[in-house]
Chains A and B, each alone.
Chain A
């Protein structure tokens, strides 16, 4: 590679990662407010983050809402993807567009809509309200991942299973689902991440009772510049990083150990292409 291009690439990578080089050291800072560089180092921020109910409650809320979002998103995106890929029906293009819409519509506009609409339905400040809104945000990516995997799925294996005596349900359970499991996992992971670091909608509708972690971080920085926020940010970052690693690790290990399980990898590779 051209040395100039290499230098440029490193510079861009550094620029993208720069916030982490500030936030992570700051999370170990002994200062009582957000200052950089830190005057000394301590774990006090982390201890506070994991013990103060002001932080642990939003963390638990975020996890509950994230898991709920995964559940709702997969329950909707899986049937939708099968319909989009395998059936030709009236209004398919429109249906696809509707699912992709949350990617185009500004989040703030959606948040305002949810705030007014969910207010009437008494869903504001409830887990259900936030889960529904976050599922909407997560749908486009999950559907993209699943449709990509389904398009690459060879249906003759389903026919083979049925031919060999498996009912349609057994075929799904023993053949279709296991082969597509990597795609389902990745779609679920992306849904969780989409919910876990979502702030705008949470600000509008999660309320005090159901505050998520990003909302609490926003409150903290606005009200008192609580340095615990840097520990929260670092934790959020590590969790997302861990999620991505969990997904990538098996592929990396497999490639290193030199076994050739090509068809098994295909699903994951397709979805990686769709996700990038």
Chain B
């Protein structure tokens, strides 16, 4: 399949002239890449997707698909495949006619059309469903038909708008694996909109985090998780402890939990910063550990495989995740000793 790159350059969108639904969005997506747009509702991720598909028009800015500028083209001339949140299958057509629809629009002759529709249905594991109508299929099956319909005509790129949102948890995880397999097999560029951070983490090559119409950060799942650039990214993805700090130079920071060493490059003395410490990076300390600190335990939530401890280090509220096997040591305890490695502490710029 012909994968193409997608470039958004200073794209702005405002519905009312005051509030920006998309605020100077710039993004380079490489050919064959799987990129997720992640953000809360109203963050501009869906607006941006709609502008790529052509259902919304940018107030200013440029969108290029490969070498082609597409921002002035109507949706039906963009050659983009899209999977909608509610599937948007044609209820009055059979599965076969649904999948063949884009080929019919492109004047593909009958034999070829049937062959390619059959192949596309095989790719999503729905052979033998050709004669059914959408209402006779389950949600997961409808989702597969929508996917087959979006890839049958070999589009330059496939957009997915929260495609798994309506499925139950087990089916959703199954479809995540399926989607990744199809992405790998076809090598097609995919843009995936979701508000589910674990979905974005598990599936994406890169994640673009949206907030209030802007892209806060673009990066690999690990960069987003371990090295967020803004406080919003740090708190939106995963569980977090964010600690106010002021620099002492050479990566040392004065905080409410004492002086914290980090591996960050030197910064100006007395400049303000925030430190991110993920709950699973804080560990129970041995009695002999010189770096250990006493933590007061306010409450615990037992997940079996891990225990979430909510408490205080001095005046600082702290959340800590203890692996289930170690958590048994904490039974009934009101205080424990904790430590962390300086390389785990991330300084939010």
Contacts and interface: CB of A to CB of B under 8 A. Distances in A.
Interface of A: 154, 156-157, 159-168, 170, 174-175, 178-179, 260-264
The 3 closest A-B pairs by CB, nearest first: A165-B105, A263-B91, A164-B102
A163 B134 contact: no
Given A164-B153, A262-B135, A154 B86 contact: yes
Nearest to B84: A156
A162 B75 CA distance: 6
B90 A161 contact: yes
A262 B92 CA distance: 11
B213 interface: no
A154 B86 CA distance: 9
B55 interface: yes
Contacts of A160: 82, 84, 88-90, 149
B116 to A, nearest CB: 14
Given A163-B82, A179-B90, 4 more contacts: A165-B105, A166-B105, A260-B136, A264-B91
A164 B90 CA distance: 12
B74 interface: yes
Given A263-B91, A264-B91, A264-B92, A162 B86 contact: no
B194 to A, nearest CB: 17
Contact of B101 (A154, A161, A167, A264): A161
A160 B93 CA distance: 13
B92 A178 contact: yes
A249 B88 CA distance: 28
Contact of A167 (B76, B86, B89, B91): B76
Interface of B: 53-55, 74-76, 78-82, 84-86, 88-92, 101-102, 105-106, 133-136, 149-150, 153
A160 to B, nearest CB: 4
Given A164-B105, A165-B105, A165-B106, A159 B135 contact: no
B105 A260 contact: no
A161 B106 CA distance: 12
5 contacts: A156-B85, A163-B53, A165-B106, A174-B101, A179-B91
Contacts of A159: 53, 55, 75, 82, 84, 88
Contacts of A262: 135
B76 A166 contact: yes
A170 B105 CA distance: 9
A268 to B, nearest CB: 12
A144 B76 CA distance: 32
B135 A264 contact: yes
B51 to A, nearest CB: 13
B102 A165 contact: yes
A175 B135 CA distance: 16
B75 A163 contact: yes
A22 to B, nearest CB: 45
Contacts of B89: 157, 160
A174 to B, nearest CB: 8
B149 A164 contact: yes
Contacts of B84: 156, 159-160
B191 to A, nearest CB: 13
A267 B304 CA distance: 49
Contacts of B92: 178-179, 264
A154 B81 CA distance: 19
Nearest to A171: B76
B107 to A, nearest CB: 10
B317 to A, nearest CB: 43
A24 to B, nearest CB: 40
B321 to A, nearest CB: 40
Contacts of A170: 105
Contacts of B88: 154, 156-157, 159-160
Contact of B74 (A154, A162, A164, A260): A162
A159 B90 CA distance: 11
A265 to B, nearest CB: 9
Nearest to B136: A260
A88 to B, nearest CB: 12
A162 B135 contact: no
Nearest to A159: B55
Contacts of A174: 101
B269 to A, nearest CB: 56
A164 B135 contact: no
A164 B101 contact: yes
A112 B42 CA distance: 56
A173 B86 CA distance: 22
Contacts of B135: 260-264
Nearest to B50: A159
A163 B81 contact: yes
Nearest to B55: A159
Most buried by A among B78, B92, B101: B92
A260 B138 CA distance: 12
A168 B136 CA distance: 28
Most buried by A among B53, B82, B88, B150: B88
A217 to B, nearest CB: 42
Nearest to B92: A178
Contacts of A175: 90
Nearest to B159: A163
A153 to B, nearest CB: 11
A5 to B, nearest CB: 37
Contacts of A154: 86, 88
A160 B99 CA distance: 12
B98 to A, nearest CB: 9
B277 to A, nearest CB: 43
A168 B55 CA distance: 12
A241 B84 CA distance: 43
A157 B102 contact: no
